Amino acid sequence: MPLTSGSKLGPYEIVSPAGAGGMGEVYKAKDTRLDRLVAIKIVSGDVTQNSELRQRFEREARALSSLSHPNICALYDIGQVEANGSEYLVMEYLEGETLAKRLERGPLPIRELLKTGVEIADALDKAHKQGLVHRDLKPGNIMVTKSGAKLLDFGLAKAQTPAMAAAATFDAATAAHPTSPITQQGFLVGTFQYMSPEQVQV
């Protein structure tokens, strides 16, 4: 059920819709305690009721909470919608556009291309050093902002260290339709067009 402007989720007041994905809706909201804008990602009822998708949501929360980097979207909080039991993530609100949207206007100038590439490589290096592989790196999961590029959506992240692997054992895989963000077992993980050769060969 879509939320309207002025709706409350605990201390968070919904301002406006900000987008939607396979796992639910994203809203621009205000944290009334700290007087700052945040992004709230509310997972759909299907995710809440499906144990595999719920594990994916929980993995994204754990992955984001373990990472602190200027080029990775920060996680502030998690919560539950009292009305229907849906869960949500409270994240850094980013002003800008996805790299996919930006590329619709044409290629990046070389200086901007190099800057964005270095920032995302640095963010991935941080994640890898903490034992996380993103597994869905694509222009749609990179936000271009005035302060630099930000890596989004760790819903398919895979833990590589024993401690993290124990906390995130579920291994989802992408459905046959290559643009679908919903995952199913028995298929490739991620978005086919952007997979590394190693992923495809597994």
Residues in the chain, pLDDT under 50:
162-189, 198, 201-202
Half-sphere exposure (Cβ direction) of 52: Cα atoms closer than 13 Å: 10
What is the DSSP secondary structure assignment for residue 179, as one 8-state letter?
T
Spatial distance between the Cα atoms of 202 and 197, rounded to a whole number of angstroms: 9
How confident is the model over 116-162, as pLDDT tens digits? 999 999 999 999 998 888 888 899 999 999 999 999 887 677 777 54
Spatial distance between the Cα atoms of 154 and 169, rounded to a whole number of angstroms: 14
What CATH number matches the domain at 96-195, 2.40.50.140, 3.30.750.24, 1.10.3720.10, 1.10.510.10?
1.10.510.10
For residue 19, the model assigns a pLDDT of 81
For domain 8-92, is the CATH number 3.40.50.2000? no
Query: Known catalytic residues?
Result: 136
For residue 193, the model assigns a pLDDT of 58
For residue 14, the model assigns a pLDDT of 96
Residue ranges covered by each domain of the chain? 8-92, 96-195
The contacts of residue 137 (CB under 8 Å, 6+ apart) are 120, 124, 151, 190, 194
User: What is the pTM (predicted TM-score) of this model?
Assistant: 0.72
Nearest residue to 87 via CA among 141, 25, 22, 38: 25
For residue 33, the model assigns a pLDDT of 96
Nearest residue to 31 via CA among 10, 11, 6: 11
Reduced to 3 states (helix: H, G, I; strand: E, B; else coil), residue 69 is coil
